[in-house]
Amino acid sequence: MGTTKFIFACAAAISTLASPAFADDMTGMVTRIDRLNSTISIQQTQKGTVGGSAGGAGTLQEYKAKDAAMLDAVHAGDRVTYSATDNNGTGTLTKLQKQ
């Protein structure tokens, strides 16, 4: 019983720490849009000083658009700023703006 409580406490702590990553505005490049399913794939760009990190491109994430009309203004290759929330492991796009 103690192990189960510990596991649930750890899972709650991890989800609490991971959620703020979706709260802030992020920047990235649209790599794919599926207008039939209202999904978009965005390659997140690295923040910080140019050349300051050893990593290459950021992570690729697929999001479900909160409103399908959000996807009408962007195309693959566009640089965007966006916000997203995490709903049961699925990222939901709440704001999308072409740069």
**Alpha-carbon span 25 to 42, nearest angstrom:** 13
Average pLDDT on 17-29 reads: 67
pLDDT score at 51 = 55
pLDDT score at 53 = 52
Average pLDDT on 23-36 reads: 90
What's phi and psi for 40, nearest 5 deg? Answer: -145, 140
> Which pTM does this prediction carry?
0.66
79 with 42: CB under 8 angstroms? no
**Domains of the chain (ranges plus CATH)?**
22-98 (2.40.50.140)
Other Cβ atoms within 10 Å of 86 Cβ, number: 14
pLDDT digits (tens, 9 = 90+) for 42-79: 999 876 655 555 455 678 899 999 999 999 999 999 99
